[in-house]
Amino acid sequence: MRRGVALAILVLTAGATQAGVTHYQLKVECKFDMEQYCKSIKKELRREMRECLASHEKDLLPRCQDHYKEAR
C-alpha cells in the first residue's frame, strides 16, 4: 500500500515539475522575443503572452520556436 501511494505522489510531482520547467524554459528562451514583439503584455498574463507569440511565430528565434511549440 505504501509503495502505491509513494509511486502516485512521485508521478504527480514529476508531471507538475515538468510543466513548470517548460514554462520556465519558455520564459528564458523567449525572453528576447517577448521583449521584442510583446512589450505591452505583462509576463504574468500567460494566455495573452502565448497569443502574442503565436501571432509572431514565424518571426521568433529558432530556440524560442522550439520551446514555444512544446509549451502549446
Residue whose grid cell is 513548470: 20
Cα separation, 2 vs 32, in Å, equals 47
Domain ranges of the chain: 2-71
In degrees and rounded to multiples of 5, residue 50 shows phi and psi of -65, -40
- Asked if pLDDT for residue 11 goes beyond 90, the answer is no
pLDDT in tens, 18-64: 444 467 788 888 999 999 999 998 877 888 988 899 999 999 999 99
Q: H-helix or E-strand containing 45?
A: none
SS3 41: coil
